[in-house]
Structure 1
């Protein structure tokens, strides 16, 4: 990523010193620098630089030995980073960060190398998806949870999770955001600034249990983004927010319907209790309890029954309710207790699979596919298949590196939210909804499948030719329905054949999905893939 040029200027002005932390390299190549004799010498040199810098060294790549900026081609820079990563690993160190700048002759980069191998992350990792109506305090609540600090009353905590300039300006989240905190023997491990990558990395590195929040979107026009966040991130629990000064809304019902239809154990947080009287909060809680009972769930008031009861009974039709305020911090210690002790629910076994949620390109690193690992494990150097791409085929790619919450890791397992840098494929070939699987797999793309569906809401009846958008994992695609009984009425359950309108995807029986078109909506489960 583009960095502060002051870092580059400082490294160049410091220069290479015999007992200094700075090392200049014009480029590093596999052919030359990984030969046995050269590799050992470079590892010893890197170790010396790290020790000289009290555990941290700076490698400037794309400059001559005299410190003159030369610049190298993007492919050569990527190769240099691969080689430097191998050298660092041999020396018992790891690449902590890489910042790059473009010049007329190519790329110049500064790599920060730190002592110690790549991060060994906690095996206990909980992923919580937040949902709720716009301005009901989802992002603010998460911000106060992960920092342990009260909100300023102006939504200051929310700004840490609103990652785009127009979101900060409007106070609306228009994409999925991620917050993280954790727990160790002494209690919560929090971050100072959730938007600072070093803070997140410290939590991931030091905590025995890591809790990641997928903070979704509350504004009605972006409901599809919320559905993607709740279906495509392999969540362990849902956290639905309802503001005490507003109560349940139509969007609340939408989000609750998605959470419960996918059988996700859910907690309801009544937020902003500092803004209204206790009697008004009681009334909102009664509305929430009524809504849950209408959905066939049993509400459990933590204020009345205690945290232990919530821990014992969540799921299996029971939904705990907790009252909170990000300003007074009421109720947040209760959420801490829940997230520290709740068991992980998402299974971690099986063959590696990850559905792509976001794609981007990092200069000098290449294309990155981001998402939550659905099953299995993945390691740097693994050979994968990516797709389906055009014409339903899968392309080969190699895992260049893996990052979790801005920290490089050697491997990652099911339930981790990761960015996987890929080699051998272009970023323009990657799209949301594609899957990553091992090269040894024999994936079959599916365009047509059978499903058991339930119509939650529709103005009339669903006939053959009905074309809603189907949300499955991170897939969002228009599809054509052909009910086997000819039609489906609101409230009906039945079997239908479904065909994606434009592209095939990697799907399998048992996967759940949501379909939506205007005010019409429903849920379903894949029962059979049709060749």
Structure 2
């Protein structure tokens, strides 16, 4: 019996007692258990179990009243968790964790059986997480091996690095990333503050530890850690454009200094109008003279893009927080090994206001990742752009490749491995969906209210600025456009026939293969080889326009 399975066995052994904190349920259904009168009585029962367990109750789902393993379908278990979540909210509690195991069709449990599942849900006292509006989201950027992930790893754990990038392992999610020491996809991390003191993760690989930080903090700082290696610049752009970020954190290693990638990432941060902080990392690896030289190089780099550098060691954290904005970029010297400068970063993140403003009231989220969970089903992950979403909400997902939108239902919502009943704008969440398979969900699709009347967009008019191009952009130029979480080949048709490096002008942009949800005012980045630029959507067409795939590339 595995350690995880011991949780189930222990709950079954304890059994239901009048004064105990264990409750057996074969299943919970919306139609039966949320009917008039049942909700109140079941919520009272749940409250009794929680109080009997000194703030924690254990619900075993998929078993009979006497503890016999029955097993239920993944769909039935998911519905049971939805109902249990509603009961918990009614009782002033929340689901803190849930685990499932396969059972055989003969009623005996089996490790790999797909005939049914039984689960254990831990219910804890206290309302479901509702982080205040001070929750900020920070996107990191910078050249490969300049210490982004290591710095963030030390920040969220409060632990010094071993000099070998050990703390970066708290963020990487793919085995080959850990093996190679390079991040190849976006990673996420969180820490927080309670009464002005940092709340760190003890073991970031443990879901319950991340959930603890979220629960204990009255202010959260979430990091979207991007990729520094040139082959994955597309992923970095996705992280900086496709997330609802409040601030950018650009790192520059003291033993290397600003590079071409540093300049590209800075350009993207500023093009997306993100207030940005520069952290000079690895300060312990060089002498004072070298550190001063790199700091001057960073200052020149900022002045080249018409930004005013502000040294935090000279002016202090309070001034940096007050001045940080469109024109001022604070600079700090840091070391994840000695922890120098991390206190200043803590102090800044504790004080910085939220900047991502909500421009609309209705719910909207662009899908960044998809995955499937046994007993839950298809999950779409991303950052809530606007509005809020609750378990049980009916939504539209799309557009599909043919321009249609699919009706789906929210089974459950998870934020930083913490199950919640509601998520608001700015939250990075995973939303389990009913009515769609995981294989049908694609990055770049959007989730929006069921009563919305969305128009799939194949082409739009945009104001674009060419940041870099070897010659000129002509009619038929085909870069990749990064808009929200969309990353799609598109055909450019500049007004006047061409755009030169440094030019700002108008162009028609047409997605090459399929439509997306695009709205006026959205900003985007486009890239093809060494060519890069930014743009703003001015006017949208519809999903029926365009369709050409044979336009010749620009020079």
Q: TM-score if structure 1 supplies the norm length?
A: 0.95
Aligned to 2:124: 114
Q: CA deviation at 1:47?
A: 2.8
Contact 1:122 1:207 in 2 (8 A): no
Contact 2:23 2:49 in 1 (8 A): yes
Distance between the aligned counterparts of 2:326 and 2:15, measured in 1? 63
Q: Which runs of 5+ in 2 are unaligned?
A: 104-112, 543-555
Aligned to 1:447: 458
Q: CA deviation at 1:341?
A: 1.4
Q: CA deviation at 1:394?
A: 1.3
Q: CA deviation at 1:265?
A: 0.8
User: Any residues of structure 2 matched to 1:179-218 within 5 Å, and which?
Assistant: 179-218=189-228
Aligned to 1:100: 100
Distance between the aligned counterparts of 1:440 and 1:193, measured in 2? 42
Change (3 A) 1:412 1:35: closer
* Structure 2 residue 170 is the aligned partner of structure 1 residue 147: no
Q: CA deviation at 1:411?
A: 2.1
Aligned to 1:23: 23
Q: CA deviation at 1:46?
A: 2.6
SS in 2 for 1:526: strand
- 1:117-165 C-alpha deviation (Å, 9 max, x unpaired): 3223223111110011111111111111122221111212111111222
Q: CA deviation at 1:349?
A: 4.2
1:470 equivalent among 461, 471, 481: 481
- 1:283-310 C-alpha deviation (Å, 9 max, x unpaired): 1112111211222222222223332332
* Structure 2 residue 75 is the aligned partner of structure 1 residue 75: yes
User: Any residues of structure 2 matched to 1:69-468 within 5 Å, and which?
Assistant: 69-103=69-103, 104=113, 105-350=115-360, 351-468=362-479
Change (3 A) 1:187 1:82: closer
SS in 1 for 2:87: helix
Q: CA deviation at 1:339?
A: 1.1
Distance between the aligned counterparts of 1:298 and 1:470, measured in 2? 30
Distance between the aligned counterparts of 1:311 and 1:64, measured in 2? 58
2:524 equivalent among 508, 513, 520: 513
Identify which range, 521-530 or 268-277, moves more after superposition: 521-530
Identify which range, 466-475 or 90-99, moves more after superposition: 90-99
Contact 1:122 1:205 in 2 (8 A): no
Distance between the aligned counterparts of 1:192 and 1:226, measured in 2? 28
- 1:206-240 C-alpha deviation (Å, 9 max, x unpaired): 32321111111111111111111101111111000
Aligned to 2:42: 42
Aligned to 1:495: 506
- 1:330-366 C-alpha deviation (Å, 9 max, x unpaired): 1111111211112211102412211111112222222
Identify which range, 352-361 or 475-484, moves more after superposition: 352-361
User: Any residues of structure 2 matched to 1:473-484 within 5 Å, and which?
Assistant: 473-484=484-495
SS in 1 for 2:402: helix
SS in 2 for 1:166: helix
Identify which range, 266-275 or 516-525, moves more after superposition: 516-525
Q: CA deviation at 1:37?
A: 5.0
Contact 1:348 1:413 in 2 (8 A): no
Contact 2:408 2:434 in 1 (8 A): yes
Contact 1:96 1:407 in 2 (8 A): yes
Distance between the aligned counterparts of 1:372 and 1:416, measured in 2? 6
Contact 1:3 1:99 in 2 (8 A): no
Identify which range, 331-340 or 307-316, moves more after superposition: 307-316
Identify which range, 404-413 or 500-509, moves more after superposition: 404-413
Contact 1:399 1:423 in 2 (8 A): yes
* Structure 2 residue 496 is the aligned partner of structure 1 residue 485: yes
Identify which range, 261-270 or 291-300, moves more after superposition: 291-300
Distance between the aligned counterparts of 1:145 and 1:28, measured in 2? 42
Distance between the aligned counterparts of 1:407 and 1:186, measured in 2? 22
SS in 2 for 1:180: strand
Change (3 A) 1:374 1:60: same
Distance between the aligned counterparts of 2:194 and 2:22, measured in 1? 35
- 1:386-425 C-alpha deviation (Å, 9 max, x unpaired): 1111311112222222222222233222211112222233
Distance between the aligned counterparts of 1:460 and 1:92, measured in 2? 63
SS in 2 for 1:124: coil
Distance between the aligned counterparts of 2:512 and 2:526, measured in 1? 14
Distance between the aligned counterparts of 2:398 and 2:121, measured in 1? 32
Identify which range, 371-380 or 6-15, moves more after superposition: 6-15
Q: CA deviation at 1:39?
A: 4.2
Distance between the aligned counterparts of 2:91 and 2:185, measured in 1? 40
Contact 1:349 1:414 in 2 (8 A): no
Q: CA deviation at 1:38?
A: 4.5
Contact 1:3 1:101 in 2 (8 A): no
Contact 1:174 1:217 in 2 (8 A): yes
- Cα root mean square deviation, aligned: 1.9
